Amino acid sequence: MVNTLDINPLRGYSKNEKMGFIIFSIGVLLQVLTFSMAVIIFLNPGSVEGFSRLVDVGGGVLSRIIMAMSLFTSLILLAAMGIIGGLIGKYGIELSRHRSPEGLGDE
C-alpha cells in the first residue's frame, strides 16, 4: 500500500461550497485592497494631489476647491470599492451555504 499525501484542501466540499469559497476570497481581497488604499490616502493626502494637477486653475480658492473635490472623489471611489467587495463576499458566503432542492451543483 502506497501512502500519498493529499494536498487538495477543498476535497470533500460540493461545487457550490468551492465556488462560494473562491468568491468569498475575491471579496476579501477587494476589501484588503480598499483598506490599504484608504490607509495610503489617509497617511499621505498628497498621493491624490495628481488629480488636482490635471486641471490648471492658477491657484487661489479654485485650486483648493479642486483639491477638496479630488479627495472627495477618491473617498467615494474607495467607498464604492468597499461596498462592492462586501457584497461579493456576502454572495460567496451565501453560495457556499446554498443547497439546491434537486441536488444540482451539490456533487
Of the two residues 10 and 103, the one the predictor is more confident about is: 10
Asked if residue 21 is part of any domain, the answer here is yes
Q: Residue with C-alpha cell 500500500? A: 1
User: What is the domain range of residue 59?
Assistant: 15-92
Asked if residue 3 is part of any domain, the answer here is no
Q: Please state, as a whole number, how many other Cβ atoms lie within 10 Å of the Cβ of residue 74.
A: 17
Q: What is the pLDDT of residue 7?
A: 72
Cell numbers for 102: 434537486
Least confident of 5-9, 10-14, 51-55, 101-105: 101-105
pTM: 0.62
Asked if residue 9 is part of any domain, the answer here is no
- Interval 82-104: pLDDT, tens: 888 888 888 888 887 776 666 55
Asked if residue 46 is part of any domain, the answer here is yes
Q: Read off the pLDDT band of 10 (50, 70, 90).
A: low
Task: Label residue 85 exposed, middle or buried (CB < 10 Å: 0-12, 13-18, 19+).
Answer: buried
Asked if residue 48 is part of any domain, the answer here is yes
